[in-house]
Structures are given as C-alpha cells and as structure tokens.
C-alpha cells in the first residue's frame, strides 16, 4: 500500500508540475522571453531563453531544474532566470519532463546520465547562434547529481563550470557512490551550494572542501535555507554571482 501511495503521489506531483509549466508557457507568450525547441535523441523539450540586459555579455547559464519541477518553478529557478540577465549572464532554463528518481540499477542510472548528456549537448548546439561566450551549467537536486556524473566521466570542453544547487544523490543499487566521490573527479570549477535542512551531503561536502584535491571545488552553505531556498533567494543569487565573477569571469582572464 505504501508503495502504491508513493507512486500516486509522484504521479500527482508530475501532473501538477506539467500543468504549472503549461500555464507558464501561456504567460510567456505575452512577455519578451524566447522559447527555444531543444531536440535530443528521440525527445523534444522547451527552453526559456532570457537575454542578458547589460552592455557586457559574460556568457550563458544553462539552468536545469530538479526532476518533478519545471523551467519556471517559483523557487530557485525563476529567481535565477530573472536576476542573472541583470548582471551580464543570459539564462537558458530547460524543461525536464521526467519524474523524480528513487532507486536505480546501474544500467538505469547510466541511461538517465546519457539523457542529460544528450540534452546538454543539444542545448549548447541550439545556443550556438547566441554568441554564448562562457557556458556554465547550473543544476538542481537529483539533476545536479546526473550532471556531475556525466562531467566526471566525459569531456565537455564547452562547459566552463558547474553550479550544483542542493544536490541530491541517486541510489545506485549496484554501485553506491556519494557526491563527494563525484565532485572530486571533476576537473572544472564547481560551486556546491545548499541549505542546512535535510541534506545528507553536508558532511561529505565539508570533507571535500578541506581536501587537497579540491582546488576546483567551492562549498557554500546558506544557514537556515531549506532545499528550495525559500526566503533565501537573494542570498542564493548573491553567492552564485560572486562565484561566477571570481571563478569564471576573473578566472578566465587570469588564465588567458
């Protein structure tokens, strides 16, 4: 009974997210926001493209919401999409239709990771005519885990950095791996940002931040924030902007 009830809850959440996203699409028909079609594999989805509003263009942030949410979710996703263009960053917020994931086999997790990899490559390709400059991926929850899994195993030279927002690990039935192991394998600048409520990754992140192998890794904890950073969006944006300036804008200038 518990399993049936949980599946019903996930289905209701997914239907709710899709309904909310459809309503957001109708709303955006009346706003100056470009809707882009992204085709990856046999799938097609929509990206909301927010153009930077400053004379200087730093790059594009590809924003991936957590599974079960949508590309204009009012917490985390919408504040980032609305704020970063005011500071020289365009945002491509991509809609993901998948439900949240609970426990996967190795093959199932690999399939999900490959889908995220295909989606990122297709999104970057679709942004080619936007003069993208530096491309940073900002991913939330379980999707952040999938992106880290992809970037830890495959080369993606067009991606300049990763912002992981309240990352949540997937449970691999065949080969358990925590986020600390994933982040330690990344070779690109990584911001790992989360609140302090119900995040099992916290202790691992603290250890990772102290590790000698963490030169690309930055951990930020926002005290008092929950997993959706309710009432803490301003601080979330401030921290993301600070890291983008230090590691992506200033960092690329120092290395050139």
Domain made up of 2-255: CATH architecture: 3-Layer(aba) Sandwich (3.40)
pLDDT at residue 2, rounded to an integer: 47
Structure tokens at 12: 């209701």
Average pLDDT of the residues of the chain: 82
Structural contact between residues 78 and 21, judged by C-beta atoms closer than 8 angstroms: no
166-204 core/surface letters (b: 16 or more CB in 10 A; e: else): bbbbbebeeeebebbebbbebeebbbbbbbeeebebeeb
What pairing do the DSSP bridges indicate for beta strands 34-40 and 43-50? antiparallel
Q: Which of 73-77, 92-96, 162-166, 207-211 has the lowest mean pLDDT?
A: 207-211
Name the pLDDT band for 61 (thresholds 50, 70, 90).
very high
pLDDT of residue 27: 47
CB-based burial label for 160 (10 Å; 0-12, 13-18, 19+): buried
pLDDT band for 167, please (50, 70, 90 cuts). Answer: confident
Highest average pLDDT, of 25-34, 104-113, 241-250, comes from: 241-250
pLDDT in tens, 68-102: 899 999 999 999 999 999 999 999 999 997 767 76
| CB 62 within 8 Å of CB 137 | yes
| CA distance linking residue 176 with residue 195, whole number of Å | 24
The answer to whether residues 106 and 142 touch, using CB atoms and an 8 Å cutoff, is: no
Give CA–CA dist 170/23, Å, rounded. 30
**Predicted local confidence at residue 150, as pLDDT:** 94
222-241 pLDDT, tens digit each: 988 988 999 999 999 999 99
pLDDT value at residue 86: 95
């Amino acid at each position: 009974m518990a399993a049936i009830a949980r599946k019903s809850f996930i289905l209701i959440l997914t239907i709710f997210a899709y309904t909310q996203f459809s309503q957001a699409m109708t709303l955006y028909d009346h706003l100056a926001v470009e809707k882009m079609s992204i085709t990856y594999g046999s799938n097609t989805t929509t990206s909301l493209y927010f153009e930077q509003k400053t004379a200087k263009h730093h790059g594009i942030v590809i924003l991936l919401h957590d599974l079960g949410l949508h590309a204009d979710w009012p917490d985390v996703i919408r504040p980032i999409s609305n704020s970063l263009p005011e500071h020289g960053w365009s945002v491509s917020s991509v809609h993901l239709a998948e439900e949240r994931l609970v426990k996967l086999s190795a093959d199932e997790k690999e399939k999900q990771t490959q889908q995220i990899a295909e989606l990122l490559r297709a999104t970057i390709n679709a942004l080619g005519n936007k003069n993208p400059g530096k491309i940073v991926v900002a991913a939330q929850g379980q999707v952040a885990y999938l992106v880290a899994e992809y970037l830890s195993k495959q080369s993606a030279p067009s991606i300049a950095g990763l912002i992981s927002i309240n990352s949540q690990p997937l449970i691999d039935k065949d080969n358990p791996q925590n986020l600390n192991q994933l982040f330690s394998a990344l070779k690109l600048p990584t911001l790992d940002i989360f609140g302090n409520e119900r995040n099992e990754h916290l202790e691992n992140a603290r250890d990772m931040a102290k590790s000698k192998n963490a030169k690309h890794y930055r951990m930020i904890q926002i005290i008092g924030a929950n997993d959706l950073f309710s009432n803490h969006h301003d601080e979330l944006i401030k921290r993301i902007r600070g890291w983008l300036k230090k590691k992506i804008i200033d960092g690329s200038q120092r290395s050139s």
